[in-house]
């Protein structure tokens, strides 16, 4: 056969619409599956079926009413198109088009915070733990926290299991190397960005009446915040009617104490401080504003002295309702508060006597006292959550809703935060979910980087069914040390023998000596009376009763002279025993 002969390869003759074509190879050789980043980001796009009605009663307007006021057409098609364009415009204006969902808590998420760089997220919950997430190490298939922190783990013993819900976690806005952790406890903590306790502030003396003389809080702390210009200072608000300013380098006593004297009837001069905010004004001075349970709103000069407030408003909100949210604008001129009386109010620090704007907004502070309200970067908007699970973006001038979108419908939206550097919104909800809202074109880093990474590839060695002996749970060539056998562990017990339940005693390790005891035979043969260790003492004594009576060892010398033992007769005085010591008068 000549080399220049032509060969014809007969292929299967299939029609164009034959479904068998899907099983035919299109090419040969090794194929590499590349991650479709655009598809990943598109899958994270939020789907909102219908724009929800706003939660504000005073400014409740639908999209159709807005379009009519603007002179829109009455045609239904044109109205639908205008509604779609408005929704798309809102998504382009605010970073809410896409979301990243983190399900790392077991109960309601009460507070969230991002470090200044936007690379690390801290969230806390009613499950008494704080979760630390690192965006640089997460992928679309590994959305989990790299560490779970229990602030009271050092206090837990077998006798008492102390755990408290966490009210606040807030990163230091200047350094980012630590965050303030406030629990339902009189002692606040400064923790590193890796979850280690750096400072634990002291607890005050609860038996002192004058709060100026105590070195710390004497009752539960409700909230706190950092100093806007000094990275070493922070303030905490407590139920002992005080605000205490701390230096992180001195944990034994607060730097300054602000005692708020309530003028409400029946309060005896004390009330609970519910919220606090600390910002820098346009003139460069600090402004410290706090809310109390008696409805008061009080303002201090942030640089001190704190002997008397610079402004005080009685019954700013309804007394005995929990004002959970408070924030100050970036220029230090405007203050926004969210009270437990279903109202959001806007205040001017230059005329601190009455609210500028008041709108209705359903409160969630009765069930979740940490529900907050925040100014957007550069104070262009105000964001807060609602009891229905919607995120409300309000106008900072008239508090009217500019955009309302559902985050967790049916579950209250508790905590919100808008990071200025990465331009992303983080929310915490009552259904234990943390949502990171972003826009691929407006946002940078953070959740955008996570969704832009390829999913983690699973190697065949990652499957334990192929690399481990399923009978013992270890590989054949592994070295086993005492206590390292996973099969010998009990439910709820770690590898070191310590129980996950702090009230359960420690389980001793099962060593090879305890299992086999190779020297037991040697001990029985060479050590006298070794078997008596496992013998009943009473039975051992009664065994020698007959022998002691027939052949006494100690009274044998008197067996002939005194065969019957004689005992001395005691008089009546001696029977009473020795004289008792007289009681001292």
Alpha carbon of 341 to those of 34, 101, 184, 390: distances in Å? 54, 31, 23, 19
Q: What is the pLDDT of residue 45?
A: 92
Tens digit of pLDDT per residue, the chain (585 long)? Answer: 455 556 665 656 778 788 887 777 766 666 666 778 888 899 999 987 654 444 444 444 444 344 334 344 444 444 444 445 555 555 568 999 999 999 999 999 999 999 999 999 999 999 999 999 999 999 998 899 999 988 876 554 434 456 789 999 999 999 889 999 999 999 999 999 999 999 999 999 989 988 999 999 999 999 999 999 999 999 999 999 999 999 999 999 999 999 999 888 677 788 999 999 999 876 778 899 999 999 999 999 888 788 889 999 999 999 999 999 999 999 889 999 999 999 999 999 989 989 999 999 999 988 899 999 999 998 999 999 999 999 999 999 999 999 999 999 999 999 999 999 999 999 999 999 999 999 999 999 999 999 999 887 776 666 666 665 555 555 555 566 655 554 444 555 555 555 666 666 666 665 555 555 556 677 777 777 777 777 788 888 888 888 888 888 777 778 788 877 777 776 666 555 555 555 555
Tell which residue, 335, 334, 380, 388, has the closest CA to residue 361: 388
> Residues 201, 189: contact at Cβ < 8 Å?
yes
> Residues 248, 296: contact at Cβ < 8 Å?
no
> Residues 274, 221: contact at Cβ < 8 Å?
no
Q: What is the pLDDT of residue 558?
A: 80
Spatial distance between the Cα atoms of 275 and 293, rounded to a whole number of angstroms: 9
H-state helical runs in 34-75: 37-43, 63-69
Q: What is the pLDDT of residue 60?
A: 43
> Residues 132, 138: contact at Cβ < 8 Å?
no
Q: Which residues pair with 426 in a beta bridge?
A: 417, 436
Spatial distance between the Cα atoms of 585 and 583, rounded to a whole number of angstroms: 6
Spatial distance between the Cα atoms of 568 and 585, rounded to a whole number of angstroms: 38
Spatial distance between the Cα atoms of 110 and 97, rounded to a whole number of angstroms: 24
Superfamily of domain 84-451: YVTN repeat-like/Quinoprotein amine dehydrogenase (2.130.10.10)
> Residues 300, 292: contact at Cβ < 8 Å?
no
Radius of gyration of the chain (CA): 37
Using the structure block, give the residue that is written with the tokens 């051992």. 540
Q: Per the structure block, which two tokens stand in for 545?
A: 């009763």
Return all residues near 507 (Cβ < 8 A) that are at least 6 apart: 490, 493, 497, 498, 499
Q: Per the structure block, which two tokens stand in for 444?
A: 């940078």
Instruction: Supply φ then ψ for residue 400, to 5 degrees.
Output: -85, 145
> Residues 72, 79: contact at Cβ < 8 Å?
yes
Spatial distance between the Cα atoms of 360 and 345, rounded to a whole number of angstroms: 9
Domain locations in the chain as residue ranges: 84-451
> Residues 95, 423: contact at Cβ < 8 Å?
yes
């Amino acid at each position: 056969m000549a080399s220049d002969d032509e060969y014809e390869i007969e292929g299967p003759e299939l029609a164009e619409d034959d479904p068998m074509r899907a099983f035919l190879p299109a090419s040969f050789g090794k194929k590499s599956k590349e991650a479709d980043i655009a598809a990943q980001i598109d899958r994270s796009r939020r789907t909102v079926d219908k724009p929800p009605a706003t939660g504000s009663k005073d400014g409740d307007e639908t999209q159709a009413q807005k379009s009519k006021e603007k002179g829109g057409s009455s045609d239904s098609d044109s109205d639908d198109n205008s509604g779609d364009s408005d929704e798309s415009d809102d998504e382009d204006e605010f970073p809410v088009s896409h979301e990243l969902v983190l399900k790392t808590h077991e109960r309601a998420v009460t507070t969230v915070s991002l470090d200044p760089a936007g690379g690390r997220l801290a969230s806390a919950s009613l499950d008494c733990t704080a979760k630390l997430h690192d965006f640089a190490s997460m992928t679309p298939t590994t959305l989990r926290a790299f560490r779970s922190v229990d602030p009271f783990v050092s206090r837990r013993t077998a006798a008492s299991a102390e755990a408290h819900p966490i009210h606040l976690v807030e990163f230091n806005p200047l350094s980012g190397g630590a965050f303030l952790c406030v629990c339902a406890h009189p002692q606040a903590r400064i923790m590193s960005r890796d979850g280690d306790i750096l400072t634990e502030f002291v607890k005050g003396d609860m038996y002192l009446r004058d709060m100026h003389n105590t070195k710390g809080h004497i009752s539960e702390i409700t909230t706190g915040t950092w100093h806007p210009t000094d990275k070493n200072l922070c303030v905490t608000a407590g139920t002992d009617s005080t605000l205490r300013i701390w230096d992180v380098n001195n944990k034994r006593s607060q730097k300054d104490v602000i005692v708020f004297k309530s003028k409400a009837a029946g309060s005896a001069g004390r009330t609970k401080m519910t919220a606090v905010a600390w910002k820098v004004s346009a003139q460069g001075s600090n402004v410290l504003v706090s809310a109390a349970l008696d409805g008061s709103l009080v303002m201090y000069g942030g640089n001190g002295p704190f002997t008397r407030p610079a402004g005080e408003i009685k019954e700013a909100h309804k007394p005995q309702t929990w004002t959970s949210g408070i924030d100050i604008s970036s220029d230090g001129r405007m203050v926004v508060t969210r009270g437990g009386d279903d109202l959001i109010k806007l205040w001017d620090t230059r005329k601190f006597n009455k609210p500028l704007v008041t709108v209705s907004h359903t409160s969630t502070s009765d069930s979740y006292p940490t529900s907050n309200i925040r100014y957007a970067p550069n104070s262009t908007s105000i964001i807060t959550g609602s009891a229905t699970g919607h995120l409300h973006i309000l106008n900072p001038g008239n508090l009217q809703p500019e955009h309302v979108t559902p985050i967790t419908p049916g579950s209250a939206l508790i905590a919100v935060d808008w990071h200025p550097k990465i331009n992303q919104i983080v929310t915490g909800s009552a259904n234990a979910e943390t949502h990171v809202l972003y826009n691929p074109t407006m946002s940078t880093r953070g959740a955008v980087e996570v969704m832009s990474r390829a999913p983690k590839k699973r190697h065949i060695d990652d499957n334990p069914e192929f690399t481990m002996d399923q009978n013992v749970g270890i590989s054949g060539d592994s070295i086993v040390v005492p206590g390292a056998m996973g099969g010998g562990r009990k439910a709820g017990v770690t590898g070191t023998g310590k129980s996950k339940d702090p009230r359960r005693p420690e389980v001793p390790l099962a060593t090879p000596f305890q299992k086999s005891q190779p020297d037991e035979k040697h001990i029985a043969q060479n050590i006298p009376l070794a078997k008596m260790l496992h013998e009943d003492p009473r039975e051992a004594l009664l065994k020698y009763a007959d022998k002691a009576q027939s052949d006494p060892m100690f009274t044998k010398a008197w067996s002939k002279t005194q065969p019957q033992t004689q005992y001395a007769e005691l008089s009546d005085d001696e029977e009473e025993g020795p004289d008792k010591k007289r009681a001292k008068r």
